[in-house]
Chain A
Amino acid sequence: QKEVEQNSGPLSVPEGAIASLNCTYSDRGSQSFFWYRQYSGKSPELIMSIYSNGDKEDGRFTAQLNKASQYVSLLIRDSQPSDSATYLCAVNSSYKLIFGSGTRLLVRP
């Protein structure tokens, strides 16, 4: 069974700090990687996708991919209390997505 691993947290950071969320995956054939944000009781919302090694920036979010190490990360700069949510890492495997169980982020005002 292909796996995606995340630290469940909670990761607590002060407002304005950088939050760093990490994810490892087991399927070396994976080519597409995604970060979803999920507020409590709500559906997952796609916030970042990355397909090649390196960094991809979108506003306050930066996704980082290292296929050799099978590692994906999400950096959130200038964290805001509204960023408090669970962040799900997802990796494609055989035409499907495998989701990690998520990291809960708390941003303290």
Chain B
Amino acid sequence: DADVTQTPRNRITKTGKRIMLECSQTKGHDRMYWYRQDPGLGLRLIYYSFDVKDINKGEISDGYSVSRQAQAKFSLSLESAIPNQTALYFCATSDNGQGSSYEQYFGPGTRLTVT
């Protein structure tokens, strides 16, 4: 089984709808991240969480919210979806500490289309 899973894998929704993307991991990592990827813009950090009680905004958090329900679960919500939120969304995890702990491991991604 995959260490980092994301659901759904694909979603088409309409402008104004609320959407939740879910991420679960079995790696036992404390740190979890949400990124979006747009063609030519690379990976941009939306939110990150270093433990269940520690949630931080990334560079593009406007229009998004997150919930860290447990060490293994980190959800991303779009409160009112808009077309420019159409993108590929990735969840990632990493261990805590130094050096190799910065290694991040990615889920398979969710392709979101807002019409």
Contacts and interface: CB of A to CB of B under 8 A. Distances in A.
A90 to B, nearest CB: 8
A43 to B, nearest CB: 4
B100 A49 contact: yes
Contact of B42 (A31, A96, A100): A100
Contacts of B103: 34, 46, 49
B99 A31 contact: yes
Contact of B106 (A31, A32, A45): A45
Interface string A88-99: 101010011101
A24 B107 CA distance: 26
Interface string B72-106: 00000000000000001010000000011011111
A46 B90 CA distance: 14
A75 B104 CA distance: 21
B41 interface: yes
A8 B39 CA distance: 11
Looking at chain A's contact residues, the main secondary structure is loop
The number of chain A residues touching the other chain, given as a range, is 20 to 34
B102 A92 contact: yes
Contact of B99 (A32, A90, A96): A32
A1 B58 CA distance: 12
17 contacts: A41-B109, A43-B108, A44-B43, A44-B90, A45-B106, A49-B100, A49-B103, A88-B42, A90-B104, A96-B33, A96-B58, A97-B102, A99-B42, A99-B43, A100-B42, A101-B40, A102-B42
A43 B107 contact: yes
Nearest to A32: B102
Contact of B109 (A43, A88, A97): A43
Contacts of B102: 32, 34, 92, 95, 97
Given A32-B99, A43-B90, A44-B90, A8 B40 contact: yes
Interface string A67-92: 00000000000000000000010101
Contacts of B99: 31-32, 51
Contacts of A60: none
Contacts of B42: 88, 99-102
